Amino acid sequence: MTLESPSIIDVAKKAGVSVATASRVMSGSTYPVSDGTREKVLIAAKELHYVPNSLARSLKAQRSKLIAVLVGDNADPYFAQVARGVEEVANAHGYLTIICNTERDPDRELSYLQTLQDYRADGIIFTGSGSDETSVPEQLEIDAMVEKIQRRGAAIVILSPHSIQAPSIQPDNLGGAYELTSYLISLGHKRIAFVTGPGNVTVANQRLHGYRQALTDSGITPDDTLLLPGNFTQAGGERAAGMLDQFPREKRPTAVFACNDETAFGLMYGLRQRGWRLPEDISICGFGNLPMARMVTPSLTTVNIALRELGRAGAQKILTLLQHQETPTQETFPTTVVKRASTIPLEHTAGVQQ
Amino acid sequence: MTLESPSIIDVAKKAGVSVATASRVMSGSTYPVSDGTREKVLIAAKELHYVPNSLARSLKAQRSKLIAVLVGDNADPYFAQVARGVEEVANAHGYLTIICNTERDPDRELSYLQTLQDYRADGIIFTGSGSDETSVPEQLEIDAMVEKIQRRGAAIVILSPHSIQAPSIQPDNLGGAYELTSYLISLGHKRIAFVTGPGNVTVANQRLHGYRQALTDSGITPDDTLLLPGNFTQAGGERAAGMLDQFPREKRPTAVFACNDETAFGLMYGLRQRGWRLPEDISICGFGNLPMARMVTPSLTTVNIALRELGRAGAQKILTLLQHQETPTQETFPTTVVKRASTIPLEHTAGVQQ
DNA sequence: TTGTACGCGTTATCAA
DNA sequence: TTGATAACGCGTACAA
pLDDT digit string (tens) for B70-99? 999 999 999 999 999 999 999 999 999 999
Contacts across the A-B interface (CB distance below 8 Å) = 136
Residue nearest to nucleotide C10 (CA to C1'): B57
Q: Using the beta-carbon criterion (under 8 Å), do A114 and B56 form an inter-chain contact?
A: no
| Predicted local distance difference test score (pLDDT) of residue B6 | 86
CA atoms of A47 and A54, how far apart (whole Å): 20
How long, in residues, is chain B?
A: 354
Q: How far is the CA of A49 from the C1' of C2 (A)?
A: 24
Low pLDDT (below 70) residues in chain A:
1-4, 129-135, 353-354
Q: Where are the beta strands (DSSP E) in chain B?
A: 66-71, 96-101, 123-126, 155-158, 168-171, 192-195, 227-228, 255-258, 283-285, 302-304, 330-333, 336-338
Label residue B2 by pLDDT band (50, 70, 90): very low
Output the pLDDT for position B231.
94
Does the C-beta of B62 come within 7 A of strand D?
A: yes
The residue count for chain A: 354
Asked whether residue B191 carries a pLDDT value surpassing 70, the answer given is yes
**Tens digit of each residue's pLDDT (9 = 90 or more) over B242-294:** 999 999 988 999 999 999 999 999 999 999 999 999 999 999 999 999 999 99
Q: Residue B232's pLDDT is what?
A: 94
Average pLDDT over residues B183-193: 98
Average pLDDT, chain B: 92
In whole angstroms, what is the distance from residue B193 CA to residue B228 CA? 7
Percent of chain B with pLDDT over 90: 75
Looking at residue B134, its pLDDT comes to 58
Cα B162 to Cα A1, A92, B120, B203, B208: the distances in Å are 25, 25, 22, 9, 17
In eight-state DSSP terms, residue B177 is H
Rounded to whole angstroms, the distance from the CA of residue A56 to the C1' of nucleotide D11 is 10
Q: For chain A, which residues make up each domain, given as ranges?
A: 8-52, 64-171+307-335, 173-304+337-348
A297 to B294: CB separation less than 8 angstroms, yes or no: no
CB contact under 8 A, A292 and B294: no
Helix (H) or strand (E) holding A330: strand A330-333
Local structure of B131: helix, strand or coil: strand
Q: Are A258 and A278 in contact (CB under 8 A)?
A: no
What values do phi and psi take at A38, rounded to 5?
-55, -45
- Shortest CA–C1' contact from B50: which nucleotide? C9
So what CATH class is B8-52? mainly alpha
Check if CATH label 3.40.50.2300 holds for domain A64-171+307-335. Answer: yes
Q: Which residue of A has its CA nearest to B52?
A: A118
Backbone angles phi, psi at A242, to 5 degrees: -60, -40
pLDDT at A309: 98
Average pLDDT over residues B16-45: 89
Residue lying closest to nucleotide D8, CA to C1': B60
User: Are residues B222 and B256 in contact, defined by beta-carbon separation less than 8 angstroms?
Assistant: no
pLDDT band at B129 (very low <50, low <70, confident <90, very high): low
The answer to whether the CB atoms of B54 and A118 lie below 8 A apart is yes
Nucleotide with C1' nearest the A53 CA: D9
What separation in angstroms does the CA of A336 have from each of A81, A284, A303, B285?
17, 17, 5, 34
3-state secondary structure of B96: strand
- Other CB atoms within a 10 A radius of the CB of residue A110 amount to 18
Sign of CA dihedral A275, A281, A287, A293: positive
pLDDT at A201: 86
Of the CATH numbers 3.10.20.90, 3.40.430.10, 3.40.50.2300, 3.40.1500.10, which one belongs to the domain with range B173-304+337-348? 3.40.50.2300
- The 10 Å Cβ neighbour count of residue B297 is 18
Quote the pLDDT of residue B4: 64
Per-residue pLDDT band at B1 (split at 50, 70, 90): very low
What does the DSSP 8-state code read for residue A337? E
* Rounded distance between C-alpha atoms, residue A81 and residue A88, angstroms: 11
Kindly report the nearest CA distance between residue A257 and chain B, in angstroms: 18
Residue B112 CA distance to nucleotide D11 C1' (Å): 24
Same topology, domains B8-52 and B173-304+337-348? Answer is no
How many CB atoms are closer than 10 A to CB A350? 11
pLDDT of residue B201: 86
CB contact under 8 A, A269 and B53: no
